[in-house]
Amino acid sequence: MTAQIIDGKKIAYELRQEIANNVADIKSKYRIIPGLAVILVGNDPASEVYVSNKEKAAHQVGMNSFQYKLAHDISEQELIDKIHELNCDKNIHGILVQLPLPKNIDANKVILAIDPKKDVDGFNIINVGKLSIGQINGSEKAIVPCTPLGCLDLIKKTVGENLAGKKALIIGTSNIVGRPLTRLLMLEGCTVTCANRSTKDLKKECLQAEIIISATGVAGLIKADMVGKNTIIIDVGINRISDSNNKTKLVGDVDFENVKEIVKAITPVPGGVGPMTIAYLLKNTLECCLKLINKK
């Protein structure tokens, strides 16, 4: 039996509609428009596409989008000065610096310069620390990275709200996906195992898991003989490969065509996690705006 294909586009669309309604309410009640600032350093084609998509999505929900394209040879201090300027701008509620940055710039210093209250990526050490101690509710809660939030939403839409006791395997331990998602699932009561592309007997780990989230960037890492019929798979991987006609196409970490014939549910690539990441970027921006309003 073919798996349920988890439609990230549809779920993200529904979330964006909810965000758009909230943005309209804020405009009506407070005469404030949530504003998202995106900084792009250099002219990397992939990064330009990502930034353009984020700007388009912000406009679709009625937010203001401020795009700052900076020269590839900008100094680290000049970039940090720009961030400090945006930190003080009352029209901007969320700040995102598109990664990767040029080699002459320390990304950690740049992320640290972002006001934690405007850190919509959730990468600032203040937000990382809040998440690590489980501070995910209340007025001073952590801003959580967008992709892990999107993954959690997709899992709950598929499995149900109560994840307590579920066995989850996260493959990939980056600060962007693996580590924050591990903490989120732990806070949901899951039994979480962390693995990577070098894990010995990865097949055994996969077969023991009810939920598998793969974020390694290794095409075809998860094969059909590594999964069971009740497995839910969230594929975060984005890999470009050449097909039989020598045309490039996007695929995930999972051998989708074969695995979908076995598992219970799976996200496609593209059309799974990607749309959710952008939707939660908008949601984080909205929540940053609401926090500022509530403090006035």
Is 73 noted as a catalytic residue in this protein? no
Is 201 noted as a catalytic residue in this protein? no
Helices (H), the chain: 8-30, 45-60, 76-87, 107-113, 125-132, 146-159, 178-187, 202-208, 256-259, 273-294
Radius of gyration of the chain (CA): 19
Q: Which residues make beta-bridge pairs with 169? A: 193, 212
Which one of 118, 119, 121, 153 is the catalytic residue?
A: 121
Which one of 54, 82, 118, 130 is the catalytic residue?
A: 54
Which of 154, 149, 145, 122 lies closest to 235, judged by CA?
154
Is 115 noted as a catalytic residue in this protein? no
CA atoms within 13 A on the CB side of 73: 0
Which of 68, 79, 69 lies closest to 104, judged by CA?
79
Which one of 98, 118, 130, 260 is the catalytic residue?
A: 98
Distances (CA, A) of 176 to 14, 23, 147, 153, 226: 24, 27, 8, 16, 25
Question: Catalytic residue numbers?
Answer: 54, 98, 121
